Amino acid sequence: MNSQNFTYLSVPTVNSPSKTVYFAAGWFTDKQNKAYKLAMDAIEKNPTIDRENSYVPLEHQYKGLRVDEHPELLEDKEWATATFNGDCLGIKSSDIFLCTYIPDEEDIGCGVELGLAKSLGKYIVLVIPDEDYGKPINLMSWGVADTAIKMSDLEVFDFNKPEYSFYEGAVY
Amino acid sequence: MNSQNFTYLSVPTVNSPSKTVYFAAGWFTDKQNKAYKLAMDAIEKNPTIDRENSYVPLEHQYKGLRVDEHPELLEDKEWATATFNGDCLGIKSSDIFLCTYIPDEEDIGCGVELGLAKSLGKYIVLVIPDEDYGKPINLMSWGVADTAIKMSDLEVFDFNKPEYSFYEGAVY
Amino acid sequence: MNSQNFTYLSVPTVNSPSKTVYFAAGWFTDKQNKAYKLAMDAIEKNPTIDRENSYVPLEHQYKGLRVDEHPELLEDKEWATATFNGDCLGIKSSDIFLCTYIPDEEDIGCGVELGLAKSLGKYIVLVIPDEDYGKPINLMSWGVADTAIKMSDLEVFDFNKPEYSFYEGAVY
Amino acid sequence: MNSQNFTYLSVPTVNSPSKTVYFAAGWFTDKQNKAYKLAMDAIEKNPTIDRENSYVPLEHQYKGLRVDEHPELLEDKEWATATFNGDCLGIKSSDIFLCTYIPDEEDIGCGVELGLAKSLGKYIVLVIPDEDYGKPINLMSWGVADTAIKMSDLEVFDFNKPEYSFYEGAVY
Amino acid sequence: MNSQNFTYLSVPTVNSPSKTVYFAAGWFTDKQNKAYKLAMDAIEKNPTIDRENSYVPLEHQYKGLRVDEHPELLEDKEWATATFNGDCLGIKSSDIFLCTYIPDEEDIGCGVELGLAKSLGKYIVLVIPDEDYGKPINLMSWGVADTAIKMSDLEVFDFNKPEYSFYEGAVY
Amino acid sequence: MNSQNFTYLSVPTVNSPSKTVYFAAGWFTDKQNKAYKLAMDAIEKNPTIDRENSYVPLEHQYKGLRVDEHPELLEDKEWATATFNGDCLGIKSSDIFLCTYIPDEEDIGCGVELGLAKSLGKYIVLVIPDEDYGKPINLMSWGVADTAIKMSDLEVFDFNKPEYSFYEGAVY
């Protein structure tokens, strides 16, 4: 991957196709929040991503209700079912499954989504913070990923040109 | 679920069918190891499970090589691919996906496997230690599970009679 | 199909395998109720079916609540979700999708289940009352069925020996 | 759903993406024909739908032969297979499964297609005539739908922004 | 694989489970016919295979018509569709996809079936004549196979104990 | 299919959608190489195909290593796995599965890919050299294809308008 290749792409042209992504990422820890913001900024700039029509789970609160303001929702089966179904809809209706992945803070929710995305035939891209790239990741995540890139490459990565590669790091 | 119902089943009869399970469970922490042992003991006794032909990942080390004795394997793509493919084979060739699930120590590997099992149309059963039953679990795990039982019910649970139920606990 | 062939099978032997079925059938009209009872009687007698472990939706009322006694359930999203998920579990965990099918009273619910069963790779068998066999059926049902038999053949049909055949009647 | 939100979308811009739909609808009764026409008019106007490349089954008669002029086709296995395969191709090659749905006149053909669309990972949208919206629908249709909208919203519904919601009506 | 391990299995016991296989094999050349016969003999003796209920395509001629006696069938769309659907039914309703595989005489029909079996989640076993074991095989066959065994091991191979392994030969 | 219909399409307009294809074709024999070149030329000119973002396996050599210069790769499990996974990624991330198909030189690799494409719900188009069109093809390829066109039609075929048709030739 040579970022030079993408320079001219950073000026989107009328006909350049763009892809929608399901934006899988945690928002529970400082590290996750930092990576979330970096990844979001990058996809805003990436001309091969249709940011406006991509599915960001946090933008799809069931009935506009926020869990932090309504903790009782967490015991409500209607809310849970609708939120789960919404995430499944986001995964299946997006072109690409983009997963912000922090080796030290792996999240079972991303795990389930990775498994679903694999079975739905989605192109699965892991984005790993530069400082964490190369650290061991879970074997099952490793196995379902089509490629794993560094955060600093996300802005110029060409999502129209799928390319398989192994993660260049260990598994555990 | 009333364990009385199963009393007569505890004497297996010649024709009683039994099911194979993929035994998903972590073995990294004390709590996981304890739960692993309890679950394994229970399926040994459960007459509706064909323990001998069930797929326990730890019993399927690629070429009999143990990672703790050969840490270099973790960077070996052949080993990683074979181990990943082996787990996928175990999931697809078993009747049931049985997941020992500890709410406080959720594991991304189980997550990916849960997603794959869901898409393969497997009957998904979470087994939760009695003392943890009711604690919040990840929403995506909640959504793909067909039922969630207590560890103390595993020994007498009838795997021939699938029954859907929500987990009786919160999600997060 | 020659029922003579199955005579010796009607005495089940110790090792004869048997299959579980998902018992899809309507119970809303007189004709449906009559066909339901005939089909149920037949599978009780068929030695290639494991009746005890087959999934009959009516035997799986969520929390044991009956809709006719609790009509308010029909507006309850928890009840609806659990019942839908239960039917999906029944379909995926059974070996065969057996559908009691009345050409004059086709039911959209069976339709959705037929589509799900097709995609899950189930062997799909339509059972049609003798007096209706040959009447036109919906093209999409026709296309997903692996075979269509007469009600009077159900008792002796060998579910261990899948055989593809077209429905011998028109479509519309 | 607030139709105001979509006003500016009604002037399509050069780069606005649009989606193809599989147009599932009955054409057997007066009510179905009326709904068919209303739905077709609406998708002609909806700028987020690529009407020209959407799949409308009636526009894909096998070899241009019409069943009403050639009733013998209904007994012809070649014709039936090609028509069934054509519908399956339409469903799988379209972005969205759009189903004109009349609660009082549910159709098993739409049912099978709904099941297939669910398993293919399509975004499933039910469109219900305004005067019928809220009436009970079949539980299985309810369970596979991603959202259910009113006919009068179809013209301005944004198919680029998938959003999960339960049907606001009873099931049966 | 040490055939000694299986000695005691060669006396089947009352409760030993057995699996059904889809018997994929060519019958066009001398080499294929020889391998076909060897493989068939082996599964007759293998106690972990339920030979009687396994699906052997040659035993499922549509309407009992043989192509060599009725070459006009090859242009008949009804016959072709029924035969294709029958093979698909055999694959989906069998536990295991067993493929007699001759490296020098690979067959596109087995190829399509391998792809379908992979997607249906079947355990895929290639059986290669001893004298050909190790010869290069097509990369795509290599990739979908769960294991590849020698013909002389087929008689004692334990189909109840799935084990992933790479083919020990080159690809091309 | 009347090529006149497509004349005006040969001048692509700003908004005309285009599809990506997975370009399945052999490159082992003279006949394959000739067909490969003809098909490649045709898709370069076809305005309904997005050639730039289509997946041509030969353009995706793992790590840029060519097998003819590095024959040792054929025994390397890392190389084989990455190449297999790359082909699977190409199939799943493309809109259409386009297969250059030579009846006399069928290739098991295309077979496996056809089976995978079928299960992933791809629109499958076989392209057959004009001089070979009508020759018998394998039954399983016949069954999974959505349509089969002549090489000379490929340049003007409208990939935005899926249409099912049987191959007009025999099977074997």
Rounded-to-integer distance, Cα D143 and Cα D162, Å = 17
Check whether F10 has a pLDDT greater than 70.
no
Q: With the CA atoms of F147, F152, F158 and F159 taken in that order, what torsion angle do they form, in degrees rounded to the nearest 10?
A: 50
Burial of A61 (0-12, 13-18, 19+ CB in 10 A): middle
Secondary structure element (H or E) that encloses residue C24, with its range: strand C21-24
How confident is the model at residue B68, as a pLDDT? 80
Residues of B in contact with A141 (CB under 8 A): 108-109, 112
Rounded-to-integer distance, Cα D6 and Cα E91, Å = 48
How confident is the model at residue F46, as a pLDDT? 97
Strand order in the sheet with C123-128: C21-24, C96-100, C123-128, C147-150
Tell me the residues of chain C between 17 and 56 that have a Cβ less than 8 Å away from chain B.
50, 52-53, 55
Mutate to test the interface with E, among F62, F97, F108, F137 (most CBs of E within 10 A): F108
- Per the CB < 8 A criterion, the answer to whether D139 and C43 are in contact is no
Residues of E in contact with B121 (CB under 8 A): 121
Q: List pLDDT tens digits, range D87-121.
A: 999 999 999 999 999 999 999 999 999 999 999 99
Kindly indicate the confidence band of residue E15, based on its pLDDT and cuts at 50, 70 and 90: low
Secondary structure element (H or E) that encloses residue B113, with its range: helix B108-119
- Write the CA distances from F167 to B79, E75, E91, F99, F134, integer angstroms: 44, 10, 23, 14, 8
- Average pLDDT for E149-160: 98
Mutate to test the interface with B, among C89, C95, C120, C122 (most CBs of B within 10 A): C89
Burial of B98 (0-12, 13-18, 19+ CB in 10 A): buried
Please judge whether E92 and C163 are an interchain contact, meaning their C-beta atoms are less than 8 angstroms apart: no
How confident is the model at residue D128, as a pLDDT? 98
Rounded-to-integer distance, Cα A22 and Cα A92, Å = 9
Residues of B in contact with A122 (CB under 8 A): none
Chunked into runs of 10 residues, chain A (172 residues) has average pLDDT values of 32 66 94 97 97 95 83 90 97 98 96 97 98 97 98 98 95 92
Mutate to test the interface with A, among C63, C78, C79 (most CBs of A within 10 A): C78
Task: Return left, alpha or beta for C63; rule: phi > 0 is left, psi -120 to 50 is alpha, else beta.
Answer: left
Q: What is the 3-state secondary structure (H, E, C) of E81-146?
A: HHHHHHHHHHHHHCCEEEEECCHHHCCHHHHHHHHHHHHCCCEEEEEECHHHCCCCECHHHHHHCC
Q: What residues are paired with B98 via a beta bridge?
A: B23, B125
Check whether D14 has a pLDDT greater than 80.
no
Q: Does the beta carbon of A88 lie under 8 angstroms from any beta carbon of chain B?
A: yes
How confident is the model at residue C41, as a pLDDT? 98
- Residues of chain C short of pLDDT 70, as ranges, are 1-16
Q: Does the beta carbon of A139 lie under 8 angstroms from any beta carbon of chain B?
A: yes
Closest chain E residue by Cα to residue B116: E121
Residues of A in contact with D166 (CB under 8 A): 78, 82
Residues of E in contact with F112 (CB under 8 A): 111-112, 114-115, 118, 138, 140-141, 143-144
Mutate to test the interface with C, among B16, B119, B164 (most CBs of C within 10 A): B164
Nearest-Cα distance to chain A for D165, in Å, is 7
- Average pLDDT for E11-17: 54
Closest chain A residue by Cα to residue C84: A81
Q: Does the beta carbon of F117 lie under 8 angstroms from any beta carbon of chain E?
A: yes
At residue D40, φ and ψ (nearest 5 deg) are: -65, -45
How confident is the model at residue D1, as a pLDDT? 25
Neighbouring C-beta atoms of residue E57, cutoff 10 Å: 18
Mean pLDDT of chain B: 90
**Chains with 3 or more CB pairs under 8 A to chain B:** A, C, E, F
Kindly indicate the confidence band of residue E65, based on its pLDDT and cuts at 50, 70 and 90: confident
Mutate to test the interface with A, among C73, C76, C81, C88 (most CBs of A within 10 A): C81
Rounded-to-integer distance, Cα D106 and Cα D102, Å = 6
Residues of F in contact with A146 (CB under 8 A): 85, 89
Q: List pLDDT tens digits, range B143-172.
A: 999 999 999 999 999 999 999 999 999 999
Neighbouring C-beta atoms of residue D139, cutoff 10 Å: 21
Check whether B10 has a pLDDT greater than 60.
no
Residues of D in contact with A76 (CB under 8 A): none
How confident is the model at residue D50, as a pLDDT? 96
How confident is the model at residue D71, as a pLDDT? 87
- Per the CB < 8 A criterion, the answer to whether C138 and C172 are in contact is yes
- Average pLDDT for D79-92: 97
What percentage of residues in chain D have a pLDDT greater than 90? Answer: 79
Q: Does the beta carbon of C121 lie under 8 angstroms from any beta carbon of chain E?
A: yes
How confident is the model at residue B15, as a pLDDT? 55
Residues of E in contact with F87 (CB under 8 A): 139-140, 143
What is this structure's pTM? 0.91
How confident is the model at residue A130, as a pLDDT? 98
For chain E, which residues make up each domain, given as ranges?
21-153
Please judge whether C115 and D110 are an interchain contact, meaning their C-beta atoms are less than 8 angstroms apart: no
Q: Does the beta carbon of D165 lie under 8 angstroms from any beta carbon of chain C?
A: no
Q: Does the beta carbon of A153 lie under 8 angstroms from any beta carbon of chain D?
A: no
Nearest-Cα distance to chain A for F89, in Å, is 7
Two structure tokens written together for C85? 């998920």
Protein fold of E21-153: Rossmann fold (3.40.50)
Q: Work out the end-to-end distance of chain B between its first and last CA atoms, rounded to an integer number of angstroms.
A: 25
How confident is the model at residue B7, as a pLDDT? 31
How confident is the model at residue F99, as a pLDDT? 98
Closest chain B residue by Cα to residue E15: B14
Q: Does the beta carbon of D143 lie under 8 angstroms from any beta carbon of chain C?
A: yes
Of D17, D123, D166, the CB nearest to A93: D123
> Which of B52, B59, B78, B113 is an active site residue?
B113
> Which of C113, C131, C155, C163 is an active site residue?
C113
**Could you confirm whether B113 is annotated as catalytic?**
yes
Check whether F4 has a pLDDT greater than 50.
no
Of F78, F82, F120, the CB nearest to A164: F82
Nearest-Cα distance to chain C for A123, in Å, is 22
Q: Which residue has the tokens 């030993």?
A: E16
How confident is the model at residue F28, as a pLDDT? 86
Please judge whether C108 and D107 are an interchain contact, meaning their C-beta atoms are less than 8 angstroms apart: yes
How confident is the model at residue F66, as a pLDDT? 79
- Average pLDDT for F123-144: 97
Closest chain A residue by Cα to residue B166: A77
Q: List pLDDT tens digits, range E101-142.
A: 999 999 999 999 999 999 999 999 999 999 999 999 999 999
How confident is the model at residue C12, as a pLDDT? 41
> Which of D59, D72, D113, D168 is an active site residue?
D113
Nearest-Cα distance to chain A for C82, in Å, is 10
Q: Assign 3-state DSSP to chain D and report helix, strand, coil percentages, each to 5.
A: 50, 15, 40
Two structure tokens written together for A54? 């991509």
How confident is the model at residue F154, as a pLDDT? 98
Closest chain E residue by Cα to residue D80: E78
Check whether F13 has a pLDDT greater than 70.
no
Strands (E), D6-113: 21-24, 96-100
Rounded-to-integer distance, Cα F71 and Cα A8, Å = 37
How confident is the model at residue B1, as a pLDDT? 25
